[in-house]
Structure 1
């Protein structure tokens, strides 16, 4: 008789899943026959090009900038000659292409995994995925089709493999990873239950299992009592979601009658396809990185304008806050961001990059100014640290408007605001000439706590500490005193458990992923200000 077994991990994405285990391999490929050096050289280049095509297709279907950004990192690596130089040198000396490429990438993976910087350690899995993808192409092996209704188990899973799964009721259990990893963010956005940090050794394909993404538990061979309790839990969860759905079409109002504005974060127009604009108060964050990822040229003014207008048309007069390009850090854009930075999260990213590339920035500002004639558009600048940075952005916006006026092109001046995600900006918020402010809680927590959100051993530091709450309250108080709108558009805004803290800190505008809207509105209705 099979005995029930529980393996405890950490919650990464909420939800419940049941089904057979599917153990993912480590990317093994079939044997191949090596040719002459010139043939091997050509075969590797063809495999790399095919892998780049695979990644570009995944970017096109990703639907959000978190996914596209991580995949763009892999595409940028494929374009980096330094990464493959050793492999091609070995091939020229007679080493088979697969042996040479694996050796070169294994060395790079080891370097990344041993790096002091948590960002590079987290990217080791992306390099492993890239290695295996090219090797599969080199061996002529198609990627294994993964079912969406099983519980997938792996030591780790890169975003590209997650995005290739047609998720339909299944779940994910990983031995590594963290609740703030890219895959966890993707899992939450897609409603895929996920557990990390679990013991995944010795498991067998086909073992019946239950996965609880809320409790971080994987149950193997559940007995009748456990299965019944799990079914009850599922029913309770469905009932709660049905209850929360009743709030979707209503304004968000606290128990003592105070209005809270609930907005959505999107990565592009496709995110709005199933969302009724009447259910939200507007768009609190449009991540424009999706326009720049997975392509061989930067988007021109007309292309950007068309996308911005589509979003404004959907909003129907509701405010739409569009963030200027936030490239860099974990969102590289080949040909624009700087390769090889020692610490990308503390490097030339966000507004720092935009101000160093005014040729690219002015194209976006012109498109935004033109789009401002079509609706209630606001422009938000990311990663602002100094008042001078925002002043320079305002000067460039003036320049764009003047050029459009001189050419007789209709345009309007949109409000210019900033993200508050650097502690220095939160501490000196009164010094910034911003028309509005939006708190980016993900980076604000990361920078305040000096802890990478991709480092699983520091998961406890990814929660909002008293210091972070104090910074949020400081910015909210400044907005109230000066009449400037203050919102929050980081992950905290979509987590009901953190809502009392955010409202208690003085925030009354929250922006979140669309799936979180109903739960947050319901949570707002339960909250009452302390007397």
Structure 2
């Protein structure tokens, strides 16, 4: 039996088709000077061919899955046509006499490696997209047609080391009943597309592509994160039962989409979506999101080889606002620096990046970067309900300084006669212990709080959540973390201002119910989790959840908290 990370719910039973990794070998030796221009032409032709291929994929995806998924490949097209990227590859060919495929490989690897080193799971997952595009360019430089997955004659579960977004895009959903990969994450575009196509999927399953053979019967239970190879008759019966239960539950959850998340005693909880690009807006609405609780703009900065200009940011923000049709959109200002690198920013290495120049600290160091983004936000604000969220705040002085930048951005737009929203709400991320302790002061300077439970847990417990040696110490249900959340919620309530939780806890059913008991009235999560969280909220009374939360705050360990939640809410 295997397990990994369940990224798309469901239960499937079918024969395995194991995809072998597509290895490409070519000569990386420097080319003679007289062949430099030939290699440059080879690269330019590869770009043109890649554009044709991606345009066909984009059209196919738009017809089969809609504009939101097609936008993934619009991003690929933007990148492959990016002049800065092409110029960089050509410089490597000329300056280092690399053959075209080797130059593409070197440049793409540099960008993808920088993404893979990032802490943010969503941004780290974009490295797969970058390598997918790089592989396509390399193949086209060599005159090799990229591998495509043809229609299968029978129902299958695909098993692979990894599955690229362009491969996932052309899957025949009538035959492909499940996906299992050794690599991947919850936020990879392959995971997003699998969920959109309602194909059960489990990723990050160690050793699975060699352990499973072609033709093996595989039971994939993404509900319970289980993969059974060649199941016994009794296991088959259990899988069939689970599949029937999943189908029934999905119908129930679909019926809840337009109903409010209201507890049985009438307390209204708002459920919003975390997104990383405009393409994520439509799927969020389909799951019943009541707005965007966290728009991470970092992906926008990863799509180009230089910082996006004001107009590009404005169009991206406006697109999300238009999709939300009047519902609130909370946009976090650029949160990179330290461990989250962007190659074109040339950030210096730091001894302790988690405590270094990241988030708003970096933006203060790069005033033009911040002002450009604030101008775009202010302009987009005239089209809908935009709210600005500031990350990595640890003092009141930082909030006041941010407001000075905002005022400067407003003044410049006013001077130029450009329309802008004059009173955009400003909130801060509560993700450091300092912000928790200063919550009563910070809330008087701002309009709302957003609690990032991932970083709050990391900083409160002094546990690097990327360090596997101490992974078991990263406990979001730690009483220390819960006390910090309660203190923050109470401070906001005292001033009559809203507080949202947008971290991983919000999308976990038991944790979400605990947060409601702690007084949180807005949760923002990955869209796929919204239906189940809503269903759970509607089944419980807020009074009972408050009692359970009060008791949980008096417990000494995360294990005790977890046991209590499972006993009374599981």
TM-score strictly above 0.5: yes
How far off is 1:101 after superposition?
9.7
Change (3 A) 1:508 1:18: same
In structure 1, C-alpha distance between the alignment counterparts of 2:354 and 2:505, rounded to whole Å: 20
Partner of 2:4: 10
In structure 1, C-alpha distance between the alignment counterparts of 2:335 and 2:376, rounded to whole Å: 16
Q: Do 1:76 and 1:332's aligned partners in 2 also have CA atoms closer than 8 Å?
A: no
Partner of 2:413: 404
Map residues 6-405 of structure 1 onto 2, 5 A cutoff. Answer: 7-13=1-7, 14-29=9-24, 36-38=31-33, 50=46, 136-146=139-149, 150-155=156-161, 157=162, 166=171, 168=173, 169-175=176-182, 186=192, 190=196, 192-200=200-208, 201-273=210-282, 279-295=288-304, 298-328=307-337, 332-335=341-344, 337-339=345-347, 341-342=349-350, 346-405=355-414
In structure 2, C-alpha distance between the alignment counterparts of 1:450 and 1:79, rounded to whole Å: 42
Deviations 1:105-132 (A, max 9, x none): 9x999x99xx9x999x999999987986
In structure 1, C-alpha distance between the alignment counterparts of 2:189 and 2:388, rounded to whole Å: 29
Q: Do 2:328 and 2:387's aligned partners in 1 also have CA atoms closer than 8 Å?
A: yes
Change (3 A) 1:496 1:162: farther
TM-score (normalizing by structure 2): 0.72
SS of alignment partner, residue 271 of structure 2: strand
Higher relative contact order (CA 8 A, sep 6+): 1
SS of alignment partner, residue 273 of structure 1: helix
Partner of 2:557: none
Deviations 1:214-246 (A, max 9, x none): 333222233444334322211101111211222
SS of alignment partner, residue 143 of structure 1: coil
How far off is 1:24 after superposition?
3.5
Which blocks of at least 5 consecutive residues in structure 2 are unaligned? 59-66, 548-570
Q: Do 1:47 and 1:135's aligned partners in 2 also have CA atoms closer than 8 Å?
A: no
2:515 equivalent to 1:502 = yes
Among 532, 535, 544, the residue aligned to 1:519: 532
Deviations 1:324-383 (A, max 9, x none): 223446765453x33563566554432223222221221221232233333332111123
Deviations 1:76-100 (A, max 9, x none): 9989989x98998696xxxx88899
In structure 2, C-alpha distance between the alignment counterparts of 1:154 and 1:125, rounded to whole Å: 14
SS of alignment partner, residue 213 of structure 2: coil
Q: Do 1:445 and 1:468's aligned partners in 2 also have CA atoms closer than 8 Å?
A: yes
The 10-residue stretch of structure 1 (519-528 or 415-424) with the greater mean CA deviation from structure 2: 415-424
In structure 2, C-alpha distance between the alignment counterparts of 1:87 and 1:449, rounded to whole Å: 50
TM-score (normalizing by structure 1): 0.76
In structure 2, C-alpha distance between the alignment counterparts of 1:310 and 1:85, rounded to whole Å: 36
In structure 2, C-alpha distance between the alignment counterparts of 1:240 and 1:478, rounded to whole Å: 38
In structure 2, C-alpha distance between the alignment counterparts of 1:377 and 1:98, rounded to whole Å: 44
Deviations 1:458-517 (A, max 9, x none): 654555131332322222122122222110122322222322222122211111233332
Change (3 A) 1:247 1:32: same
Deviations 1:421-448 (A, max 9, x none): 2343234333422221111223333444
Partner of 2:457: 445
How far off is 1:398 after superposition?
0.9
Q: Do 2:168 and 2:190's aligned partners in 1 also have CA atoms closer than 8 Å?
A: no
How far off is 1:263 after superposition?
1.6
Q: Do 1:17 and 1:211's aligned partners in 2 also have CA atoms closer than 8 Å?
A: yes
The 10-residue stretch of structure 1 (180-189 or 499-508) with the greater mean CA deviation from structure 2: 180-189
Map residues 449-460 of structure 1 onto 2, 5 A cutoff. Answer: 449-451=461-463, 453=465, 460=472
In structure 1, C-alpha distance between the alignment counterparts of 2:143 and 2:271, rounded to whole Å: 49
In structure 2, C-alpha distance between the alignment counterparts of 1:127 and 1:274, rounded to whole Å: 23
SS of alignment partner, residue 361 of structure 1: helix
Which blocks of at least 5 consecutive residues in structure 1 are unaligned? 1-6
The 10-residue stretch of structure 1 (241-250 or 269-278) with the greater mean CA deviation from structure 2: 269-278
Q: Do 1:88 and 1:100's aligned partners in 2 also have CA atoms closer than 8 Å?
A: no
How far off is 1:207 after superposition?
2.6
Partner of 1:469: 482
The 10-residue stretch of structure 1 (258-267 or 443-452) with the greater mean CA deviation from structure 2: 443-452
How far off is 1:276 after superposition?
5.0
